[in-house]
Amino acid sequence: MLVAAVVVTFLVLTIVSLPIVFSLGIAGFTGLVVGNFSLQKLPSSLVAGSQSWVLLAIPTFIFAGNLMERCGMSYALVDLARAMIGWVRGGLGMSVVLAEYFFSGISGSTIADVSAIGAMLTPPMLRAGYKPEHAASLVASATAMGILVPPAIFMIVLGQVTDTSVVGIFLGGFLPAAVTALCLMVVIFGQAHRLQWPKDRRATRAEFGVAVKASLVPLVVPIVIVLGFYFGVFTATEAGALVAAYAVGAALLYYRNVTLREMVALIYESALLTAAVVFLLAVASVYQFLMGMLGVPAMLGSMLQPLHGTPWLFMLAVSMIVILFGMVLEGLPAAVVLVPVVFPIAKQIGIHPIHFNIVLTAAVGIGLFLPPIGVGLLMALRFANVSAGQHFKVYWPYLTALGVGLLLLIVFPEITLFLPRRAGLVR
């Protein structure tokens, strides 16, 4: 009865287009009332779920990413990617993947990645002769990979939900993202020769030098983050503050194209998004209480008992569920609803928390770009002006590459754990 009340309430509110966070909150409140639990649990859960030092990294990374995008740093990274690889056949498509790898390291937001990369690289691909559905596929698959490149807001949320070192998760994301990017580039290379995609003109030494020089300012951010985390110089929260300060300095002293009024507007936008994320985490605490009282973790554990002896099969099954959740609920709601249930089981069968979090991040990235309702995919299709039906006919090779990348991460945990282990975060 209680489960039915929560599920029905959530579905009805979602169907009438109430924002997900409010649908989850009202459904959780309904669960407390129907289950005859004390309503004092609601405010106490909301407070407990929003009190964490690591959550302070969210507004700073969001603000820094927005400010860097407003300055035009993403254009410099796109130009560098095209200068590096655009001259090979299909190089313009490969530069989408490379530019996304660079840009994700400073944006922190998958939606910001889709907007920036889609707006900057879809028109050049269309002008070069790429079909719209292929252009949309390249942007979608590259951005699905990009969620693995720190600093990702989703990783911070997972760290909070699973009580795992965010620094460890950040360090664990770089190599998995590179492996997935390589899988995508192999597919793009094959598609380029099959479909005879064009080549960019090879950049001269002078042009390459200009592209490198322009990209140095934004590339400082991922380099500093990697080195700082690797050598234990700062935490994720301190890194967010440092990156935000660097973005302000770069905007005022180097680019000089953002006014103080615009910065205040970006602060306001960052505060709104942060409030939504923190409220979502607070609401999740109510669900954790309800699921615990209903014995959902124990029930799910017994259902998955046959997979306990083969951790990679367990992770594959969980990834498939997460992909479906990510497609329907977006990334963050999927994490706060599902992860608290399956994470204790993963720990029990010996899966390392950092490996668990990275695999789930990759799975959510795929779900966000699956038809027909993946929110990231819908944004990518908008830039190319194609329908989901037209697009999926050519999307499957890129989706296969993402799936192969996910499977490699599941089967070979050391891809994820190598950098955290070298940094002393994994024994």
For residues 331 and 140, the model is more confident at: 140
Give the C-alpha separation, 127 to 145, whole Å. 25
User: What is the reported pLDDT for 296?
Assistant: 65
Most trustworthy range by pLDDT among 228-237, 249-258, 318-327, 413-422: 413-422
Report which of residues 41 and 357 the model is more confident about: 357
- The helix-helix angle for 331-348 and 260-294 (nearest 10°) equals 50
Task: Determine the Cα–Cα distance for residues 49 and 281; give it in Å rounded to an integer.
Answer: 6
pLDDT of residue 178: 94
> Residue 290 pLDDT > 80, yes or no?
no
User: Does 315 score more than 80 pLDDT?
Assistant: yes
Residue 405 has pLDDT above 90, yes or no: yes
d(CA 168, CA 235): 10
Average pLDDT, the chain: 82
pLDDT over threshold 90, residue 388 = no
Answer positive or negative: Cα dihedral of 392, 393, 395, 397: positive
Residue 57 vs residue 180, higher pLDDT = 180
pLDDT band at 171 (very low <50, low <70, confident <90, very high): very high
Which residues are CB-contacts of 258 (< 8 A; sequence separation ≥ 6)?
67, 70, 71, 251, 252
* Cα distance between residue 422 and residue 191, in whole Å: 37
Predicted pLDDT of residue 301: 66
pLDDT at 307: 73
Please compute the mean of the pLDDT values over residues 288-305 and round it to a whole number: 68
- Is pLDDT of 312 > 80? yes
Residue-wise pLDDT for 15-29, tens only, equals: 777 776 777 778 778
Q: How confident is the model at residue 49 (pLDDT cuts 50, 70, 90)?
A: low
The confidence band for 195, taking pLDDT boundaries of 50, 70 and 90, is confident
pLDDT computed for residue 413 by the predictor: 94
Above 70 in pLDDT, residue 329?
no
The answer, yes or no, to whether residue 146 has pLDDT greater than 80, is yes
pLDDT tens-digit readout, 201-257: 788 888 889 888 888 888 888 888 888 888 888 787 888 888 889 989 988 888 888
Cα end-to-end span (Å), the chain: 45
pLDDT for 399 beyond 70: yes
**410, pLDDT greater than 90:** yes
